[in-house]
Every structure is written in C-alpha cells, then in structure tokens.
Structure 1
Amino acid sequence: MNNQPLIYSFVAKEKVVLAEQNWFSGNTRTVAIQCLAKLPSNSNKFTYSCDGHTFNFLVEKCFVFLVVANKGFGWSAPFVFLERVKEDFVQQYGSTIADEGPRLKEHMQYCINHPEEISKLTDFIDMKGIVMDNIEKVLDRCEKIELIVDKTETLHFEVGPISKLSNRMYAIRDMQAPTSMDSPMLFLMQPLHPLNTVDAADGRGDQTLHPNGVVRDVQLISPRPNRNELKFDHVAKKFSLPIKDAARDLKVSVSTLKFRCRELGIPKWPYRKIQSLETLIETMLELAPFGFQHMIGKVREEIEAIKLNPTLEIKYETERLRQEIYDSKYKRRRTSEFTS
C-alpha cells in the first residue's frame, strides 16, 4: 500500500459521496468522510496529513473532489489529478453520476502511468503559485508606499507652520542680539526691547525694524484648520476646482481633503463631472448662442445638483446631448475644411 501513489478518491456533493474508487481495504474511506465533514469554507483547496498519507480536497461550488495519496507523491501532484477529475466530471455531469466511479479509476491509473507529465504540471503549478505570491507582495508593497506618501504629504503641511514659527523666533533673537560679543555675559544682560513694527508696503506681512536699521520681514502664521472643521458647505464651494487647488485654498493636504470627503460621504472629487458639463455649455454657446437656452438651463441645474450631491452621475440624456453636439461640431469642422 505504501508503494502506491494514489490510494482512494471520491466525488461528493456537499457532505454526500456520489462516486468513489478505493484500491485498498482499510479505514481510508472512514478518515476521508470525517475530514469531509470538517472542511472549512474559507478556501477551495485543503490538504490533511495522516499516517504518511495526504488527504487532498478540491472544492468547486457545491462539489468536493478528494484523492488520498502517499506523501512521497508530493503536495501539488494530487491537485493535478483532482483538476483532471473536475474537468471530466463537469463535462460528464449530464450522464448518470454513478458512472463517475470507473472514471476515477481511469484518472488514477493515468496519473500513475504518466509520472513525467504529472511532474511537469506540478512544476507549473508550483511556479504559478510563486508568481501569484510575488504579485500579491508587490501590490501590498505599493499600497504601503501610497500610505507613506500620504503620511509624508500630511507631515509636510503640519511641519510648515512649525518651521515658520522657528524662523520667526530666530529673527526675533537676532534683532535682540548685542552688537558686540566681547563679554560672555553681555548677551544675557541685554534687556528685551519691544518690537518696533512698520506696515509692509507690499502686503507680505509685518516688517520688524532691527536695532541696526535693517528692516526684516516677519511672516504671520495663519493656523491650518482641523480636519473636522471642514464642513460640507466649505468643501462644496471648491468642487469647481481641481482637488490640489481646492486643498491649497482650504489650507489642508490633498490626502487630508480626500479623507474628509470620504467622511462626508463624497467618494470621488466631482471636479471632472462639473468641468465636463461646463465645457458642454461653452460648446453649446459657441455653436448656437440662442438655440440651446433651454438645454443650457437644464445642464446648469444638473451642475448645481451635483454640487449638492456629489455622488450623482451625469444623466443619460445629457451624455446623449453631448455626443450629438460633438458629432455636429465635428461635421461642421470637416465641412469647413472641405469647402476651404
């Protein structure tokens, strides 16, 4: 029995065995039925090991295919056999299920008599598994890289005010520094003078008058809003802008704005839809300034509706209108090129 690579096989529907083939007597069938009753539902391939044998299960919809093999036959080769059985079973399912028993015997004999072919298929399955694992690792790594980029962008916006505050503190320290450093205690004994400020002529912020007469700019730091302070009304006013411009106007990072939009129930920034409809209006005005007034009004109403509910998609009628106008514009251009 130990020298035979394939020992027992069956086809079952859920927990009921429909057809089977057993080449040896023993408790193999009993153990297989017990394993069938305990199959988990989170995968379609399972392998149990017992007494030097592997119990290999392949699940396809409500059907379960099993083969019991010696451990020396390998871990992938039994599933090559099960794939053959599954394909044959699906093709022959129109006939009586009882006929599948002898077919199991034929498949088992074929796998035993063609070890080289089974070995090649086994190598292919193993290589396919390695490739799929590598693809999953790459995808997981890409997701981690995107997360790092978002965190870096958020950190950049959060560090900005701190950097400006630090520069301002250094500027104030320089303005209060003594002109001579002959005495080490002179700097500590220097009294603090109030800052003399003058209005900036170019509107860049306050200008501080240095004791030496040098005028230095002191940038005023405007605090960035907390993410929870961004209400729907504030965000909706920026829907007509690209998301990068909107984030800059709202003084938040792009990743923060995207995260807040998801919290507000906005799965996708609606700028492209709004821009598409506005381009449609411009095209209609270009073709016939007074001929599309009714349709232009409808498109503008649709833009306002999308601003109120960004989850709305462009209406089918509007898509058809856009295609018709595009075709008309294209025909006019071709006609003008032909006549000229």
Structure 2
Amino acid sequence: MEDAYRKSMEGNGEKKPNQGCDGVEKGTKMQGRRGGGGADKKVLTLEQVSQLFSMPIKQAARELNVGLTVLKKQCRKLGFQRWPYRKVKSLETLINNVQELGKDTEKVDGHMTRAVVVMLEQTKKMIEERPAMVLDDNTKVLRQACFKENFKRKKLIGHGPCSGMTLLSDVDH
C-alpha cells in the first residue's frame, strides 16, 4: 500500500517529505547556486591583485572575474585589510603635483624635484609590493604642502569660493 502511495506522490508533482521548495532534495548542492561552496573557488595571488591597485575595488573585481566579497576575503588572506586604490591614486597625484610645481623652480632646485619624484615612485612601488604599508611622515607633509600650494594658486586665479559672487556692499540699492 505504501508503494502505491509513494508512486502516486512522484507522479502528481507533489513534494516528497525531504524536498526543498524548488523540488531538489535537501542536502544536495546544485551547481551555479549561491552558497554552493564548490571546488571551483578562485585563489588570487598578490601579483594578480597588485596589478589592479590603480583602479577602484569594484572595477578590479570585475577585471578578475570574481565577486567583491571574494576579492576582499582574498585580500585579507594576503595580509592587507584595505584596498590601496586611494593611497596609490594620492601618490600619483602627488607625483604630478610635484612635477608641475617643480617646473616653476626648475632652474633653482631642479635636481631636488627629480629626487623627490624618484622617492615618491619608489614609495608607490613599495605599496604595490606591501599594500598594508603606511605612508611616512615626509610624504604626508609633502602632500599637505602641495594641497596648500594648489589652493593658493586657485585662489589667485579666481577660482576661489567667492570668485563669482558680488558683495552686498558693492550692489547699489
């Protein structure tokens, strides 16, 4: 009698007692499903990842063809907690600023500018090798000096915060 009941249950599309809502037996892993934890997990090396430090982490995950969470977990396994894109971008901007500001003083201290640029490029390479590295104080001071200098230049040119505004005292009532 039970055999007849079981066969009738299989034939009419009803769920078996240990089936999930999608008709798949509970406890079996399906390919292509989230949380499957298959053997096809991608292991990333520092060399693969470090080539992409100059782009945001979402874009890097797309380039590596992995999910954002997978990339973050692999980065933690490789020994760094934060994606160094902003640090690398800051150094690239600092190198450009030093070169730009160095053009003005090239005759006076041109060799000094070149030495600073070389030092910054070495720091950038070291970050690509060891992303958890902290910038030294000299680099931070130089970055702050470049920010100040650029701000002064913009203010002199007229791109400051009040450049397009007229003062109330200048307006005739």
TM-score between both structures, scaled by the size of structure 2? 0.61
Cα distance in structure 1, aligned partners of 2:154 and 2:78: 44
Cα distance in structure 2, aligned partners of 1:159 and 1:252? 15
Residue 48 of structure 2 is aligned to residue 227 of structure 1: no
Query: What is the one-letter code of the residue matched to 1:326?
Result: F
Aligned pairs for 1:34-113 (under 5 A) are none
Structure 2, unpaired ranges of 5+: 1-31, 35-39, 160-173
Deviation at 1:159, TM superposition (A): 5.5
> Does 1:328 find its partner at 2:142?
no
Q: How does 1:232-243 map to 2 (within 5 A)?
A: 232-243=46-57
Could you tell me which of 62, 84, 103 is aligned with 1:248? 62
Deviation sequence 1:87-138 (CA, Å, 0-9, x none): xxxxxxxxxxxxxxxxxxxxxxxxxxxxxxxxxxxxxxxxxxxxxxxxxxxx
1:218 counterpart residue number: none
Structure 2 residue 130 is the aligned partner of structure 1 residue 309: yes
When the two structures are aligned, how many residues end up with a matched partner?
Answer: 117
What is the CA–CA distance in structure 2 between the aligned matches of 1:332 and 1:248, rounded to whole Å?
39
Runs of 4+ aligned structure 1 residues displaced above 4 Å come to none
Counterpart selection for 2:92 from 242, 264, 278: 278
The answer to whether structure 1 residue 297 and structure 2 residue 121 are counterparts is no
**What is the letter of the counterpart of residue 259 of structure 1?**
K
Give 1:303 deviation, angstroms.
Answer: 0.5
Distance 1:273 1:260, change over 3 A: same
Within 1, Cα distance between the matches of 2:46 and 2:154? 43
For 1:226, the aligned partner's letter is K
Give the match's secondary structure for 2:158: helix
Out of 140, 143, 147, the residue aligned to residue 319 of structure 1 is: 140
- Would you say the 8 A contact 1:281–1:296 is kept in 2? yes
Q: Distance in 2 between matches of 1:231 and 1:331?
A: 44
Partners of 2:33 and 2:98 lie apart in 1 by: 47
Cα distance in 2 for residues equivalent to 1:241 and 1:333 = 28
Larger Rg: 1
Deviation at 1:285, TM superposition (A): 2.3
Q: Give the Cα separation in 1 of the matches to 2:78 and 2:150.
A: 39
CA distance in structure 1 between the aligned counterparts of 2:52 and 2:91, rounded to whole angstroms: 16
Listed as ranges, the matches of 1:173-184 within 5 Å are none
Q: Is 1:236–1:307's contact at 8 Å kept on the other side of the alignment?
A: yes
Q: What do residues 50-76 of structure 1 show as CA deviations (whole Å, max 9, x unaligned)?
A: xxxxxxxxxxxxxxxxxxxxxxxxxxx
Equivalent residue, structure 2, for 1:94: none
| Counterparts of residues 97-246 of structure 1 (less than 5 Å) | 226-228=41-43, 230-246=44-60
Q: Does 1:268 align with 2:82?
A: yes
Residue 267 of structure 1 and its aligned partner are, at CA, apart by 1.2
Give the alignment's TM-score, normalised by structure 1: 0.32
Contact kept in structure 2, 1:274 and 1:303, CA below 8 Å:
yes
CA distance in 1 between counterparts of 2:158 and 2:55 reads 35
Question: How far is 1:328 from its partner?
Answer: 1.7
RMSD of equivalent CA atoms? 2.3
Larger relative strand fraction: 1
Alpha-carbon distance in 2 for matches of 1:159, 1:271: 31
Mapped to 2, the partners of 1:320 and 1:265 lie a distance apart of 27
Q: Distance in 2 between matches of 1:248 and 1:267?
A: 19
